[in-house]
Structure 1
Amino acid sequence: MHSFSKNLICTCVLALMCSFLSAQQFSALLITETAGWQHESSFDAIPAMHKLASRHDFKVELKQKAMRLNDEWLAKYDVIIMINTTGDVFNDAEQAAIEKFIQAGKGWVGVHAASDTEYDWKWYTDMVGHMFKIHPVVQTAMVDVHDNSFPGLNTWPKRRMWTDEFYEYKDGTRRPGFNYLITVDETTYNTEAQWGDNKSRGHGDFHPMSWYHNYDGGRAWYTNFGHVPAVFSDKDFLDHLYGGIFWAAKGKK
């Protein structure tokens, strides 16, 4: 065999080995677009997500503007992550592409204001499960963990203090098929808030904060936490966040 051919084969084999060795666990699309309130914590979330991707060896691509999403473009991702999006950020074609993405067995992750997004898109609101209504001021409360076996929650105690912006939802009642991971104890903080005619009533004994479910062929996971910028440098929160991303992307617990 000529030396040129030997060198070419060696180069190809080396390239394949490098490609295999550098293959990442999964690919995530991060969307932070807002058509309403802009959360300060979004600016902390972006570098935190890149560090999280580096630590856990997955690929994350940021799209601050969600425009021009289509089937072909989304096909390269395993999970869509929406952090503090607000308002109507997708047009009809983009909505259809996201529906097909989930129907193909892919995953969705929503953080905090992802539940304050796309109220008029019923498929999306059914996927989220509980849509934002109002919130009191940021404060400390006791939260309860209901499933420590879920990824990222294995080091969390059953009950702990947490400081954040605790959403009240339009409907906070349990939904069939939903798996609730964390709730907040309303007796440990002031639930009162009023914005004009929009008034907080609280949810009572069951006030969900994080949940997941299988949806329309794919997977959806949501956490209410993520308003306070400092949580994006908090190891416990990042473990919780990565656990949800991992499950949504891989379907493994």
Structure 2
Amino acid sequence: MAALLLASACAFPHLVVAGAPPVTGVAAGSPAEVSSARPALLVFTRTAGWRHDSIPQAVATLRDLADQAGFDIVHSEDPAMFDDARLPGFRAVLFANTTGEVLDPVQRAAFERYVAAGGAFMGVHSAADTGKQWPWYGDLVGAWFKGHPPGLQATEVRFESGRGPDGLQRWRVSDEIYNYRRNPRAGVDVIATVDESTYAGGTMGADHPIAWCHRAAGGRAWYTGLGHDPALYADPVFRAHLLRGLRYATGLSGDC
């Protein structure tokens, strides 16, 4: 399987391998080479709306965590990656601070087939502010972004079912805190909530999920609403939270 993934990845145009800047539009030069025979993950950071300053930190962090878990990272902003030839070469597809309508109907259909065949999705922060004209994606991510209070605010994150790093139950964090169009709890397994009494501008009430996972459309999906602030990616708790998500999405762990 690893050799097949390597062969597939080396055949892909429009790729950016770990450490290189993203390619947008058409690819230039020869196809990128993956440095080893390890399975690959696609980190997709295309934006068709607000562009987060934390995208470089998100990519670098996901690269480090993937390396710990035994994966190579392919980073791209080229929507042409989403076709039936390329997608099966990836263990999981990670949307890191994407925004807006980043895929056309043909590319959307290819991604739907990838997930239906057992592919996996991981979303970070504004992955929930993506694909709002794509109902299937809304179900995959779990809930769409509705709005957020201005600026960064300190809040208390409460991990459920022992899913905090080293059993951590409560974590004080400063970030941009999303409100969602719906509470996703009925359709997902909630990992963590935020306590709206600890900051201003929450609109979801006493039950405000901020991270969750679920089996979705034939595959796996994991999402966290945190990740706006570039500084957060240096926080060991957040990094452990992302690593747990990566392990779930890639099938290394059955518990998100």
The question of a shared fold, defined as TM-score above 0.5 by the shorter chain, is answered with yes
Higher relative contact order (CA 8 A, sep 6+): 1
> C-alpha displacement at 1:251, in angstroms?
5.8
Q: Does the 8 Å CA contact 2:66/2:246 hold for their aligned counterparts?
A: no
Q: Deviations over 1:146-191 (max 9, x none)?
A: 022x4xx342521121111110011125323x10010000001011
Q: Does the 8 Å CA contact 1:156/1:236 hold for their aligned counterparts?
A: no
Give the structure 2 partner of residue 69 of structure 1. 82
| 1:175 has 2:186 as partner | yes
Give the structure 2 partner of residue 113 of structure 1. 126
| 1:230 has 2:231 as partner | yes
Choose which of 77, 82, 96 in structure 2 pairs with 1:83: 96
How many residues of Structure 1 are paired with residues of Structure 2 in the alignment? Answer: 218
Q: Deviations over 1:101-145 (max 9, x none)?
A: 111111100000000000010100011111001101211011111
Between the aligned partners of 2:66 and 2:194, the Cα distance in structure 1 is 29
| 1:158 has 2:169 as partner | yes
| 1:207 has 2:208 as partner | yes
Give the structure 2 partner of residue 9 of structure 1. none
> C-alpha displacement at 1:49, in angstroms?
2.1
Give the structure 1 partner of residue 46 of structure 2. 33
Between the aligned partners of 2:186 and 2:87, the Cα distance in structure 1 is 29
Give the structure 2 partner of residue 3 of structure 1. none
Q: Does the 8 Å CA contact 1:42/1:83 hold for their aligned counterparts?
A: yes
> C-alpha displacement at 1:68, in angstroms?
4.5
Between the aligned partners of 1:47 and 1:154, the Cα distance in structure 2 is 20
Q: Deviations over 1:23-78 (max 9, x none)?
A: 53x42100000000000000211222222222322111001222352111111101
> Structure 1: which 5+ runs fail to align?
1-21, 193-201
Cα RMSD (Å):
1.5
Give the structure 2 partner of residue 15 of structure 1. none
Q: Does the 8 Å CA contact 1:129/1:175 hold for their aligned counterparts?
A: no
Please give the TM-score of this superposition, normalised by the length of structure 1: 0.82
Q: Does the 8 Å CA contact 2:69/2:247 hold for their aligned counterparts?
A: no
Taking a change above 3 Å as real, the CA distance of residues 64 and 156 of structure 1, as seen in their structure-2 partners, is: farther
Secondary structure of the equivalent of 1:241?
Answer: helix
- Which residues in structure 2 correspond to 1:41-52 (within 5 Å)? 41-52=54-65
| 1:187 has 2:201 as partner | no
Between the aligned partners of 2:184 and 2:93, the Cα distance in structure 1 is 26
> Structure 2: which 5+ runs fail to align?
1-35
Between the aligned partners of 2:252 and 2:168, the Cα distance in structure 1 is 24
Please give the TM-score of this superposition, normalised by the length of structure 2: 0.81
| 1:129 has 2:142 as partner | yes
Structure 1 or 2, whichever has the larger Rg, is 1
